[in-house]
Amino acid sequence: MHSHLFLAGLAIWAGATAYLRLDGQRLLRPGPWWATLLLFAISFLLLAVLTRRLCKRFQVPRERWPSAAISLALPTLLLDPISSAFFSGVFPKIAPEMAGAFGGWMLCCCAGALLGVMVGQPRLSRA
């Protein structure tokens, strides 16, 4: 476990959850399907870049980037199932029908973090 990246992930999760609780209806709203897909794509790319930068900032050796990305994504993976299960109570300003989009969005964010550190990784030599 990379405690610095876990704590960074926890801070990101807390900040994002607070924002969504206060003003999430502007970001997650019923509407055209392409807007949700665009949010997914932008978030995927942003988390890929952010994760690589955090790994560099915390001087994580390149071969440990995948485990570092897991540490960063872990708060989202552990806490957002609870947010999803009690969606209307956690995010009262967001339309309840957006709970599924929220869950998909969190998966896209975590996938971006994980894939972001895998792209450009040196291949392991086969023995």
Higher pLDDT, 1 or 82: 82
pLDDT at 1: 76
Identity of the amino acid at 51: T
Which tens digits make up the pLDDT trace of 47-82?
Answer: 999 999 999 999 999 999 999 999 999 999 999 999
Total number of domains constituting the chain: 1
In a domain, 80, yes or no: yes
Candidates 109, 87, 83, 106; CA nearest to 98 is 87
- Asked, for residue 106, whether it belongs to a domain, the answer is yes
Does residue 64 belong to any structural domain of this protein?
yes
Mean pLDDT in residue range 102-107: 96
Q: Which domain holds residue 78?
A: 3-17+34-118
Question: What is 16-59 written as a DSSP string?
Answer: HHHHHHHHGGGTS-SS-HHHHHHHHHHHHHHHHHHHHHHHHHTT
Q: Is residue 113 part of a domain?
A: yes
In a domain, 23, yes or no: no
| Predicted local confidence at residue 31, as pLDDT | 87
In a domain, 45, yes or no: yes
